[in-house]
Amino acid sequence: MQEPQIIRTEYSDVMKKSYIDYAMSVIIARALPDVRDGLKPVQRRTLYDMHQLGIRYDKPYRKCARIVGDTMGKYHPHGDSSIYEALVVMAQEFKKGMTLVDGHGNFGSIEGDGAAAMRYTEARLAKVTQEAYLADLDKDVIDFVPNFDETEKEPAILPVRIPNLLVNGAEGIAVGMATSIPTHNLGEVIDAVKAYMKNSEITTKQLMKYIKGPDFPTGGIVVNKDDLLAIYESGSGKIKVRGKVDVEEVKGGKKRLVISEIPYTMIGSGIGKFLNDVANLIETKKTNDIVDISNQSSKEGIRIVLELKKDADIENLKNMLYKKTKLEDTFGVNMLAVAKGRPETLGLKKIIEHHVDFQFELATRKYKNLLAKELDKKEIQEGLIKACDVIDLIIEILRGSKSIKEAKACLTDGITEGIKFKTKISQKMASMLRFTERQATAILEMRLYKLIGLEIEALQKEYETTLANIAKYEDILNNYDSMAGVIIAELDGYKKEYARKRRTVIENAEEAVYEEKKIEEQQVVFLMDRFGYAKTVDTVVYERNKEAADKESKYIIPCLNTGKICIFTKDGKMHRMKVLDLPYGKFREKGQPIDNVSNYDSSTEEVVYMCDEEQLKVGKFIFATKFGMIKKVDGSEFLAAKRTIVSTKLQEDDAIISVLPIHERHQVVLQTMGGYFLRFPAEEVPEKKKGAVGVRGMKLQKQDELEHIYLFEEGTETKVTYKEKEVSLNRLKQARRDGTGTKTRG
């Protein structure tokens, strides 16, 4: 037995090669479409499998589970969900410029509802797919390759006759690259292809006389027309798309905005998000013009209705929707496809060029095969016609032959030995016969009824038709204009039957500008209960309900409605939330959880202090932790633009127990869980930056930790309760910071 050979290699080289192989496999074999047929492998295999199963457009629907299972077993071993998802998308009118599959059942909705399970849905090929994507598969126009386990053959490419990559677009994420090609209008794309075939020097600008821009199945308005030329030349860029908004008159002089078309990017969960965004604009008082919002969309189409106040500023409101919601969105274009076996970003002209080259390749192979068949027919027809002229001699040869082999040898080479002839003349004439092998076979297989006069006439006509076909096919193969004419005629047929009117409007629109109404600044009172529900009320409302408010609220902070509330948490963070984001108005309203309007998370964080941001600008604050660390920080340290910042540095397992505003006249009292109290003047607390840990405020006993910090002014009677026993803070002996304190028994 041969000794195993150990190959030493650099690990990084193996990883690099393996990853590149994996990346190219994902790019070529899964994620990116081929520029020729515009299909990804999963789409190509699914359509071919449906064709092989005979699920044609004029046949009954079949269960999607059957299609998916067959495709996975024969051609695409990557899981049923990816195959079914591809099948569903090819049947969704709101995602594809032209659906390739005719779906029966629940195939999802434009609002993001998923399709039913594949065991419930049915499908068959669309008519256009049968005619323009799968025709001529039997004419050897494309190559077939072995499937993954080499038990079946599958097409390397489908003989697609229309520029599918542009018509249906593509979306896909590969390794280190992604493709995003918008859908286009079939009629416009066909006109552009015809223009290129007539003049290959045509420019992208000239092509855009035919292709105005993207044509999304959801309609909408492309508002940056002037940018499209650069996008189509380079193959990448950004298209701005808006929804279509109409104004309807309502009784009483009121109006409503009706959104009947949405940006393509809003398909799915985007519609729900849009409704939430509009509701948020109303709640946060960004607009007072919208009274109600309702989604009245149905199978007939999109209809989102915004009921407006009387005398609403409609133009300003439209612009606000474009700016603050996804009613105006950006479609990122990156026309990346597999061309000649490698990924490439292609401009509009390059895509059309690849398509036309592919059409000429298909036509060349098709007409070469058709010509070969006609030449075969011609040979046999000529033999049969010639045989009819000497049919008596042929009958004599057949009657005098002992075997087919003997008769065939006479017909092809004039060998008469062993054959009985009536006369020498017949034998001499038989020796002059020189039929070809195939002609001789056809003569021997010919039935007697073919000798009827009308049948001979029909044979002559077939021969003339064959000669005409040969001349036609040779002309197509040898003449560019003739082949181009055939391809153009096919395209015209597809355009006539399947083209539809453009849905997306292409224009140059002004940048959406809206004036945000200035909010009238007023004093309010922030109220938050122990469950974290917060709201703001007018100061008059608070005064009127002061007793109830003080009893029910954990935090009561006077502030401006334009201000911000700062939340200091136990784990050393400070969150900031806008007062305007909170509900304002009635005292009895429950309010909103502060989790919803800030980064604060009540499930993992605990509030230790809250204040108005204005308070930070004018004061200093003392921080105390359970390990007894204290420091004083200037409030201006916390004035940052971020919604969340680190308010202090903590040692491992330490936590903030208190944050309080402090001034020099204060006396500080630290109290531990074990009942130790330490009193010292505020001037002994050093001022530090927010990023500092601080200094030790008190020496703690083993297993003890700081529980409370109290501030009071000298000469004021201040009492606290420790284990049901009152402690007068002002009577505690004054000491110095970092002492052990005095033990008080509860």
To the query of whether residue 600 is one of the catalytic residues in this protein, the response is no
- Secondary structure class of 186 (helix, strand, coil): helix
Q: What is the 3-state secondary structure (H, E, C) of 663-679?
A: CCCEEEEEEECCCEEEE
Task: Match 């499209």 to its residue by tokens.
Answer: 228
Q: Which of 19, 22, 120, 480 is catalytic?
A: 120
Taking alpha carbons only, the member of 354, 360, 286 closest to residue 323 is 286
The side-by-side arrangement of strands in the sheet containing 290-295 is 244-249, 255-261, 304-308, 290-295
Distance from C-alpha of 215 to C-alpha of 506, rounded to nearest angstrom: 9
Dist. CA 424–CA 23, nearest whole Å: 80
Strand locations in 89-211 (E): 101-104, 122-125, 144-146, 153-155, 170-173, 178-181
Question: 421 φ, ψ to 5°?
Answer: -115, 150
Region for 723 from its dihedrals, namely left if φ exceeds 0, alpha if ψ lies in -120 to 50, beta otherwise: left
In this structure, the strands spanning 290-295 and 304-308 are: antiparallel
| Paired tokens of 485 | 């004419």
Return the H-helix or E-strand segment holding 279. helix 269-283
Is the Cβ–Cβ distance between 44 and 157 less than 8 Å? Answer: yes
Q: Are 82 and 42 in contact (CB under 8 A)?
A: yes
Assess contact for 120 and 106: CB atoms under 8 A. yes
Taking Cα atoms as reference points, which of 33, 293, 362 lies closest to residue 179? Answer: 33
Q: Which strand ranges, in their side-by-side order, compose the sheet holding 706-713?
A: 706-713, 666-672, 676-681, 742-743
Q: What proportions of the chain, in percent to the nearest 5, are helix, strand and coil? A: 40, 25, 35
Q: Are 355 and 193 in contact (CB under 8 A)?
A: yes
Torsion over CA of 330, 290, 297 and 181, rounded to 10 degrees? 0
Rounded CA-CA distance 638/681 in Å is: 25
Q: For residue 139, give the amino acid letter.
A: K
The distance in angstroms from the start CA to the end CA of the chain is 87
For CA atoms 605, 611, 614, 619, the dihedral sign is negative
How far is residue 261 from each of residues 269, 509, 711, measured CA to CA in Å? 15, 17, 62
Q: Count of alpha carbons within 13 Å of 266, Cβ hemisphere only?
A: 28
The residue with tokens 């209960």 is: 529
Residues 275-305: b if buried by 16+ CB within 10 A, e if exposed? beebeebbebebbebbeebeeebeeeebebb
Question: For the chain, what's the residue count?
Answer: 746
- Give the residue numbers annotated as catalytic, written as ranges: 120
